[in-house]
C-alpha cells in the first residue's frame, strides 16, 4: 500500500499544500520545508513538533462540552491535517474511538445534514445508473484498497437515515486506518443514495440526500449490480465492505456477490466474528466447550443470524452436525420464538426454526429453554429486564450475557444492570462501551464486543495477502486469533476482549490468520512471505510526519 512519504515527488506547494489534508503538517513544517515549498509567511512563525501539536489537539478536544462537539472538532481536524488526526486517534484510541464511531457516530448520523460541511467519500445516487464507472473516475486516488459502502437503510439501531448514513462509512474507514494501518489514501467511503422512507428526512428542507421514496425491486438490484461491477473495473484490488443495508437486502446481496467479488457484510460476518471470539473467551474463563452451550438470541436480523451461522460452524468443529448445532441456537424476533409452525418466517430464519410451541415472551422462553448464553441484537433497549437477568443467574453459575445493540441508547441492558442482577456472576459484553462497575467490593471491566476488533484486521489480512475473495473460514480464524489475545489479567477483571489500546497488534495477529486462509485456499496469486507477520506489519500506515525536503 502507498504511504505518505512516497508522495513527496508529487507535492503541491504553497496554499495548495496547506489545503491538502493528506499532506498538510500545519505549524510542524520546518524552516527548510517552508522555504522550499513556498510556505514562508503562510504559517504562524513558531515551529512545533508533531507530538507538541498532538498535545495541543488533545487539550482542545477535552475542552469540548459534548460528545457531538468533540466529534465535530475531530472531523474538522481530519479535514485539515489527516496525519495529526490519525496520530491522536491511534495514541488515544480508547478515549477517541467512542467519538469517531459508536456510540457518538449514531448521533452524528442523525444530525448529519445539519452538521455537514465538507464531503468525504462519494455519494452515488439511483440517477447515476448507467454511468457509475464514469462517476467513480472522479475519485482522486486510483489505488483504492478498502471501500465501505452503505445505502443508509439500517444505520446501527437507528433505522433509515438515508444519505445521513455517510457517517458510518467515514467512521469505519477511520478505524481501518487507526486499528489496522490501512493507508487513508487507500480508503473510500461510499453512500449509494436510493432515497429514504424516513418521513422526517423527506420533510426536512435541509436534508442533503434525495428527498424521494426508497428504490426497491429490480431497479435497485440493477443499480447495485452496476456498482459492484464498476468498482471491480475501476479499483480492481479493492475490498468492498457492505455496511448497514436493511434486512431485506443484506443477506440477499451477500449471497449474490460473495463468490463474485472480494466482499463481506460487516453486520452479518463481522458481528458474528466478534461475538464468536467473545464466546470462546468467555468459555475459556468459566470452562466449557461451545458445542455444550444453548444460546437464545433476542433478534433475528443480520447480526443475530450471522452470529448463529458462525456459531453453528464453530460447533461443527467440535463434532456436532449442522442439525445438532442449529438446535442449540434459538431466536426470538418481534413476533416471538422462531418455530416451524409460524408461516411468516423468511428463508434465513427458517434455518433456525424448531419444532416447539410458540412463545412471545423472552422471560418465558428463558425459563422454558434454560439457555447458558443470552445474546441481544435487536435494538430493544431495556429488553434484558431485571427478571430476565435474574433468571439467567438462577439457571447458570456464570451466565453469559451479550447486549450487542448499538449505539448505547439501544443496548438491551447496561453493564451495571447485568452485574447487579446476576450478583456479579455474569460474563458480560456490550456493543458500545460501558464504564467499569463496582459491586460488592469488586470492580468489573465490561468487554466491548465491537466489530472494530474484527473488521480492520480482516481487511488488513485481505489487503496484505492480495486476496480475491472473503470466506467464512476467515471470520472463524479471526475470532480464534482475537480470543488468543485475551489474557488471564483480562479475565481477572471480568473482561473477555483485550484492551482497545492493543488493537493494532490485535489486528496484525488477526490479519496473519486471515492471510493464512487466503494462501491455503488459493485465493491469492501472491507468493507467501517467509515471515507473514513482518510482511503485514511493514504494510501498516503509521502517521509520523516525514520530511518533505
Burial class of residue 444 in the structure, from the number of CB atoms within 10 Å of its CB (0-12 exposed, 13-18 middle, 19+ buried): buried
Query: How many CB atoms neighbour CB 356 within 10 A?
Result: 16
Q: Is 101 a catalytic residue?
A: yes
271-286 and 302-317 helices cross at what angle (nearest 10)?
50
**CA 69/CA 28 separation, integer angstroms:** 25
User: Which DSSP helix (H) or strand (E) runs through 510?
Assistant: helix 503-520
In sequence order, the 6+-apart residues with CB closer than 8 A to the CB of 181 are 460, 504, 507, 539, 540, 541, 542
Answer whether 493's CB lies under 8 Å from 445's CB: yes
- Residue 529 to residue 388: CA distance in whole angstroms: 51
DSSP state of 163: G
453 is catalytic: no
Exactly one of 25, 70, 86, 101 is catalytic; which is it? Answer: 101
Q: Which residue has the cell 460447533?
A: 315
- Return the C-alpha cell found at 448: 466491548
- Residue pair 430/480 in contact (Cβ under 8 Å)? The answer is no
- 35, three cell numbers: 522555504
**Residue whose C-alpha cell reads 448507467 in the numeric block:** 130
| CB 242 within 8 Å of CB 149 | yes
| Residue whose entry in the numeric block shows the C-alpha cell 495529526 | 84
Give the number of other CB atoms < 10 A from CB of residue 97.
24
Q: Which one is catalytic: 112, 172, 349, 548?
A: 172
Q: How far apart are CA 517 and CA 476, in angstroms?
A: 10
Query: What is residue 124's three-state secondary structure?
Result: strand
| Active site amino acids | 101, 172
Amino acid at each position: 500500500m502507498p504511504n505518505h512519504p512516497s508522495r513527496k515527488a508529487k507535492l503541491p506547494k504553497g496554499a495548495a499544500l496547506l489545503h491538502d489534508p493528506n499532506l498538510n503538517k500545519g505549524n510542524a513544517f520546518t524552516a527548510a520545508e517552508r522555504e522550499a515549498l513556498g510556505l514562508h509567511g503562510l504559517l504562524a512563525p513558531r515551529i512545533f513538533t508533531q507530538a507538541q501539536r498532538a498535545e495541543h489537539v488533545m487539550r482542545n478536544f477535552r475542552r469540548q462540552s459534548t460528545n457531538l462537539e468533540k466529534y465535530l472538532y475531530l472531523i474538522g481536524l481530519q479535514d485539515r491535517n489527516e496525519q495529526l488526526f490519525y496520530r491522536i486517534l491511534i495514541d488515544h484510541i480508547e478515549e477517541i474511538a467512542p467519538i469517531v464511531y459508536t456510540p457518538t457516530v449514531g448521533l452524528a448520523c442523525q444530525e448529519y445534514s445539519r452538521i455537514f460541511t465538507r464531503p468525504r467519500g462519494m455519494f452515488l445516487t439511483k440517477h447515476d445508473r448507467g454511468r457509475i464507472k464514469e462517476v467513480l473516475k472522479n475519485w482522486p486516488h486510483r489505488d483504492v484498497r478498502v471501500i465501505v459502502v452503505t445505502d443508509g437503510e439500517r444505520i446501527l439501531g437507528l433505522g433509515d437515515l438515508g444519505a445521513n448514513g455517510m457517517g458510518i462509512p467515514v467512521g469505519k474507514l477511520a478505524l481501518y486506518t487507526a486499528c489496522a494501518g490501512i493507508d487513508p489514501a487507500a480508503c473510500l467511503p461510499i453512500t449509494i443514495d436510493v432515497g429514504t422512507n424516513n418521513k422526517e428526512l423527506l420533510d426536512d428542507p435541509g436534508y442533503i440526500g434525495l428527498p424521494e421514496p426508497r428504490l426497491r425491486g429490480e431497479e435497485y438490484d440493477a443499480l447495485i449490480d452496476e456498482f459492484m461491477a464498476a468498482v471491480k473495473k475501476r479499483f480492481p484490488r479493492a475490498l468492498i465492505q457492505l455496511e448497514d443495508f436493511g434486512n431485506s437486502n443484506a443477506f440477499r446481496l451477500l449471497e449474490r456477490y460473495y463468490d463474485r467479488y472480494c466482499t463481506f457484510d460487516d453486520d452479518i460476518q463481522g458481528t458474528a466474528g466478534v461475538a464468536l471470539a467473545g464466546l470462546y473467551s468467555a468459555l475459556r474463563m468459566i470452562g466449557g466447550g461451545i458445542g455444550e452451550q444453548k444460546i437464545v438470541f433476542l433478534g433475528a436480523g443480520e447480526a443475530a443470524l450471522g452470529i448463529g451461522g458462525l456459531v453453528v460452524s464453530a460447533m461443527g468443529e467440535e463434532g456436532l452436525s449442522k442439525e445438532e448445532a442449529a438446535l442449540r441456537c434459538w431466536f426470538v424476533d418481534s413476533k416471538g420464538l422462531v418455530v416451524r409452525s409460524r408461516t411468516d418466517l423468511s428463508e434465513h430464519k427458517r434455518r433456525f426454526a424448531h419444532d416447539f410451541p410458540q412463545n412471545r415472551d423472552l422471560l418465558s422462553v428463558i425459563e422454558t429453554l434454560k439457555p447458558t448464553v443470552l445474546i441481544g441484537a435487536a435494538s430493544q433497549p431495556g429488553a434484558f429486564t431485571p427478571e430476565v437477568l435474574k433468571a439467567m443467574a438462577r439457571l447458570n453459575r456464570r451466565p453469559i450475557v451479550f447486549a450487542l445493540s448499538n449505539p448505547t441508547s439501544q443496548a438491551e441492558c447496561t453493564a451495571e444492570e447485568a452485574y447487579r442482577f446476576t450478583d456479579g456472576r455474569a460474563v458480560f459484553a456490550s456493543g458500545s462501551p460501558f464504564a467499569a462497575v463496582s459491586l460488592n467490593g469488586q470492580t468489573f471491566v465490561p468487554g466491548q464486543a465491537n466489530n472494530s476488533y474484527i473488521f480492520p484486521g480482516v481487511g488488513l489480512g485481505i489487503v496484505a495477502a492480495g486476496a480475491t475473495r472473503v470466506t467464512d473460514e476467515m471470520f472463524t480464524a479471526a475470532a480464534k486469533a482475537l480470543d488468543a489475545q485475551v489474557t488471564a489479567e483480562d479475565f481477572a477483571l471480568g473482561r473477555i476482549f483485550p484492551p482497545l489500546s492493543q488493537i493494532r497488534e490485535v489486528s496484525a495477529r488477526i490479519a496473519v490468520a486471515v492471510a493464512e486462509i487466503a494462501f491455503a485456499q488459493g485465493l491469492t496469486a501472491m507468493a507467501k512471505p517467509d515471515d507473514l507477520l513482518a510482511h503485514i506489519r511493514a504494510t501498516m500506515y503509521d502517521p509520523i510526519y516525514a520530511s518533505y525536503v
